[in-house]
């Protein structure tokens, strides 16, 4: 049960590293790639939304704000959503196993 918290915690540690690395790169667009790869599931949804809406810029990164502020508004909620997704995926085998055990006990 406690081990299900380890992968999301490791992911969030990696996300902090990715953010620190992003802040030390030149604002030329390649740093964005690292942030998008770190939050891959949310980035896929963002790319699909960008394509569906016919926009030229990435929809989930707001424009009109500072470079780091706009990326922080995208990255940190996306990292938390991805960590929750990792938690659900890592908890699912335990949930399924407990449900199977409960079902087995109730059958005659």
The pLDDT tens digits of the residues spanning 47-64 come to 999 999 998 888 998 888
CB count in 10 Å sphere of residue 36: 20
Query: How do residues 36-49 score in pLDDT, each as one tens digit?
Result: 999 999 999 999 99
How many residues would you count in the chain?
108
pTM for this model (two decimals): 0.82
* Residue pointed to by tokens 């006990």: 105
- Asked if 89 and 50 count as a contact pair (C-beta separation under 8 A), the reply is no
- Angle at which helices 6-23 and 67-106 cross, to 10°: 170
Question: Does pLDDT of 8 surpass 80?
Answer: yes
pLDDT for residue 1: 57
Could you tell me the residue ranges of all domains in the chain? 2-106
Helix (H) or strand (E) holding 62: none
């Amino acid at each position: 049960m406690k081990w299900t918290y380890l992968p999301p915690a490791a992911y969030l540690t990696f996300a902090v590293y990715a953010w620190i690395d992003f802040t030390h790169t030149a604002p030329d667009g390649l740093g964005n790639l690292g942030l998008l790869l770190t939050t891959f599931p949310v980035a896929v949804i963002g790319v699909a939304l960008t394509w569906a809406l016919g926009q030229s810029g990435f929809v989930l990164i707001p424009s009109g704000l500072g470079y780091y502020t706009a990326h922080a508004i995208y990255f940190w909620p996306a990292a938390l959503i991805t960590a929750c997704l990792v938690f659900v995926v890592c908890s699912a085998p335990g949930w399924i196993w407990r449900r199977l055990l409960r079902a087995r006990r109730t059958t005659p």
